[in-house]
Amino acid sequence: MVRILCLHGHGTSSQIFETQLATLCKSLPEHYEYVYADGEIECDRAPGKSRYYNAYVPDIDSRKIAIPQTIPGPFLCYFNGCSCGELQEAHDLLDAIIDEEGPFDGVFAFSQGAALTMSYLLELERQNPRSDPPFKFAVLFSPTVALCPDPGYCSEEMESLNKLDYDYLTSVLKQAVEEQDAAVTVSHQNKHSDYLTPDLWQHQKPDFELRKRILVSSIGGIIRAGLKTSFLSASSLQGYIALHDNRVIPRVFHPALMSERIRIPVVQATGLKDDKDLQAQFKIMPLLCKESMTRRVLHNGGHDLPRAPGDIREIVKAIEWVIAEGDMPTF
């Protein structure tokens, strides 16, 4: 028996995630046991119509529909904001799920559930690097951004944020709300906008100023991604930024800002039709894992699990690999 914890996306539920996974699970061995765990926070349903989403039911135009209005709630999430306190509550919930429902061999997670999985594993590496991870492998679909629950993470960089930085974040928020492609003003673009690009930091040790720019750029990325996936609200973000209160500004895990890496085998899958900001995050997230223990898979959908037969075959191959790397019984 291989026991797999399953964590859903924001604004859905374990029942919906079970439906999302159904096609894939039919292609996996019968001795796999799936344990679905709900978030505890009620929230709005995931977007019912978005050019980025195809998260829950097939449609002729795979980018236009998410949860139909006919699907009843409740709609749940593991966290409904981005502050350290909210992330810590989500980590505490995952602790409780593992203690009460575990042990688990692996985890399948989608969107916010995948981001929570990465956040949880990275924080374990930061706080207890010699402890055994709670999973032997992870399969993560469309992970958003891994956030840190520790207010001490990048504390010096956070405390150095100034008016120009907050003006940048305000411009990101304003234009994200307006659903424009350009997220920053031209005058500020060179300072922050490209620091998610690995080529700018991967081959050098960032100094303080570069670390700060990477951090602020990452916060801008979470603002854009959070609004598009609806797990952050514009009103709450406006409040955070207007207060210039770095206690509630998200701490984004970034490979240039930390040495710790997830050390279990990980598959990360994303759709070619997913939003460009989420795809940018997809390029960063695998770098938070050990390179030799990570496999990336692209499929032809949007912000969704793979559905097409060819995509299912590719993800099954990746799962076979991650199972073998995790020293689990093979197919």
Give domain status of residue 43, yes or no: yes
pLDDT in tens, 298-322: 999 988 899 999 999 999 999 999 9
| Per-residue confidence band for 82, with pLDDT thresholds at 50, 70 and 90 | confident
Give domain status of residue 101, yes or no: yes
| Per-residue confidence band for 131, with pLDDT thresholds at 50, 70 and 90 | very high
Give domain status of residue 249, yes or no: no
Nearest to 135 by CA among 330, 325, 282: 325
Do both 33 and 120 map to the same domain? Answer: yes
Do both 115 and 218 map to the same domain? Answer: no
Q: Percent of the chain scored above 70 by pLDDT?
A: 78
**Are the C-beta atoms of 98 and 134 separated by less than 8 Å?**
yes
**Are the C-beta atoms of 149 and 84 separated by less than 8 Å?**
yes
Per-residue pLDDT for 58 more than 60?
Answer: no
Question: Containing domain of residue 210, as a range?
Answer: 155-243
Do both 226 and 192 map to the same domain? Answer: yes
Do both 174 and 126 map to the same domain? Answer: no
Do both 98 and 205 map to the same domain? Answer: no
| Per-residue confidence band for 248, with pLDDT thresholds at 50, 70 and 90 | confident
Do both 215 and 261 map to the same domain? Answer: no
Distance, in Å, from the CA atom of 255 to the CA atom of 149, rounded to the nearest integer, reads 16
What does the mean pLDDT of the chain come to?
82
Domain boundary pick from 219, 243, 267: 243
Question: Tokens representing 164?
Answer: 């120009």
**Are the C-beta atoms of 72 and 237 separated by less than 8 Å?**
no
Q: What is the pLDDT of residue 239?
A: 63
Give domain status of residue 72, yes or no: yes
Do both 133 and 213 map to the same domain? Answer: no
Please give the full DSSP string across 62-103, using - where no structure is assigned: TTSB-S-TTS----EES-SS-SHHHHHHHHHHHHHHHHHH--
Do both 283 and 309 map to the same domain? Answer: yes
| Per-residue confidence band for 203, with pLDDT thresholds at 50, 70 and 90 | low
What crossing angle do the helices spanning 234-243 and 208-228 adopt, rounded to 10°?
150
Residues 197-215 have a mean pLDDT of: 76
The neighbour count for residue 166, using CB atoms within 10 Å, is 18
The number of folded domains in the chain is 2
Give domain status of residue 179, yes or no: yes
Domain boundary pick from 217, 243, 269: 243
Q: Kindly report the pTM of this predicted structure.
A: 0.86
Do both 172 and 232 map to the same domain? Answer: yes
Q: In what order do the strands lie in the sheet with 266-271?
A: 32-37, 2-7, 106-110, 137-141, 266-271, 294-299
Do both 175 and 142 map to the same domain? Answer: no
More confident residue, 184 or 71: 71
CATH number at residue 299: 3.40.50.1820
